[in-house]
Amino acid sequence: MSKKYKVALVVGAGAFGTSIATVLSNNFDKVVVKVRSEDVYRGIKDNHENGIYLPGLPLPKNILAALTWDEVDEYCPKEQLELIVSGLPTAGIETFFQEHYDRFASYFDCSIPLLSLSKGIDPVTLELSDDLFYDTFPKHRELFNFLSGPSFAREIMEEQITLVAIAGRSKQVLTKVIDMVESHYFRALASYDVKGVLLGGALKNVIAIAGGIIEGLGFNYNTRAAMITRAISDMLKFGKVFNARPETFYGLSGMGDLILTTTGKLSRNKSFGLEVAKGRNPEEIISSQRTVVEGYKTTKAAYLLSNKFEIQANIFVGVHEVLYGGKPPQEAIQKIMEIPIIFEDGTHL
């Protein structure tokens, strides 16, 4: 029996991209995943499993892997394609879409919408991922949508009830994309605040690293809850610079995702922070693993932003000092604790 939608194309087969492909497989006849590496390709094709990023979790049979663009064209002819999902890390977006400009421009000329899963800030241009897409495809801004919210890939695969935010500029496109992803365990709430949704998703990774560091140093729940709460105040200051709505930071893509990544067990950013607390060299940890720790680069970007716009974001600056300045984590925490704050908004009595 055919489903409501025909074909979706997912580029990037990391853990999160694969989990969203699985969500889409409920509503699409076929979900084609364009992968780069032979081992992921073989895993999906031969065993219906992404053995590299989501080992042990079977994928639905209507998820098809494609290693070449010829395969993509074979599995998803343009006239059947109804959604493109970008599961690329932020740093890879610009290069990828410029390299395959003609193909994607022709998709967008047919009004096929895109849903991006990236949560990061470009550490060089300090742009959020919406601008990376808009720069390359300025005519098609209304087609780009951005998903963010508390959602571990593995739990999506287990059909845990999951709520995320999807931000976009067009009411019509948003409504359609939300309809495409929703299922009995996965729901998406709409937002027009693209910057707010992206910023929350990006900055929370830095706080997740801080959460890992704090936990690794032996601090417990009181300290963690205090740090998370104060971090949201810092995030709002970044939001101001980007004209984001404060409410967005208190929603799924802000606070929701922050709670998930700092208190959940599975976050890569938090695990990274735990390793840093043990005294390991941050750069060494990063270079020794295959998965991307978005928060590492975002820490740099957030620091540069705080300098550029004179944002007083103590927790973010503290994490930067630890990751890039060689400061002992214990010392950074002490410094944050000593800042005189009388009211929660930073004003004095």
User: Which residues of the chain form contacts with a copy of itself (CB under 8 A)?
Assistant: 149-152, 155-156, 158, 160-163, 165, 171, 174-175, 178, 187, 189-191, 219-226, 228-230, 232, 247, 250-252, 255-257, 259-260, 263-266, 333, 337, 341-345, 349
Annotate 246-267 with DSSP letters as a single string. HHHHTSIIIIIHHHHHHHSS--
Nearest approach, Cβ of residue 172 and a copy of itself (Å) = 9
Nearest approach, Cβ of residue 110 and a copy of itself (Å) = 23
Nearest approach, Cβ of residue 253 and a copy of itself (Å) = 9
Q: Which is nearer to a copy of itself, 9 or 260 (CB)?
A: 260
Instruction: Please name the residues in contact with 171: beta carbons below 8 A apart, sequence gap of 6 or more.
Output: none
Residues in the chain: 349
Q: Which is nearer to a copy of itself, 43 or 318 (CB)?
A: 318
| Exposed / middle / buried, residue 83 (Cβ in 10 Å: 0-12, 13-18, 19+) | buried
Q: Which amino acid is at 124?
A: V
Report d(CA 21, CA 27) in Å as an integer: 10
Annotate 24-59 with DSSP letters as a single string. HTTTEEEEEEE-SSHHHHHHHHHHSB-TTTSTT-BP
Report d(CA 24, CA 12) in Å as an integer: 15
Nearest approach, Cβ of residue 318 and a copy of itself (Å) = 13
Q: Which of 201, 26, 180, 30 is nearest to 114 (CA)?
A: 180
Q: Which is nearer to a copy of itself, 124 or 226 (CB)?
A: 226
First-last CA distance in the chain: 67
Active-site choice (34, 119, 204, 270): 204
Nearest approach, Cβ of residue 151 and a copy of itself (Å) = 5
Nearest approach, Cβ of residue 98 and a copy of itself (Å) = 33
Q: Which is nearer to a copy of itself, 1 or 342 (CB)?
A: 342
Are 74 and 83 in contact, with CB atoms under 8 Å apart?
no
Q: Is 204 a catalytic residue?
A: yes
Q: Which is nearer to a copy of itself, 29 or 155 (CB)?
A: 155
Instruction: Please name the residues in contact with 344: beta carbons below 8 A apart, sequence gap of 6 or more.
Output: 233
Report d(CA 36, CA 24) in Å as an integer: 20
- At 249, is the secondary structure helix, strand, or coil? helix
Q: Which is nearer to a copy of itself, 1 or 161 (CB)?
A: 161
- Please list the active-site residues: 204
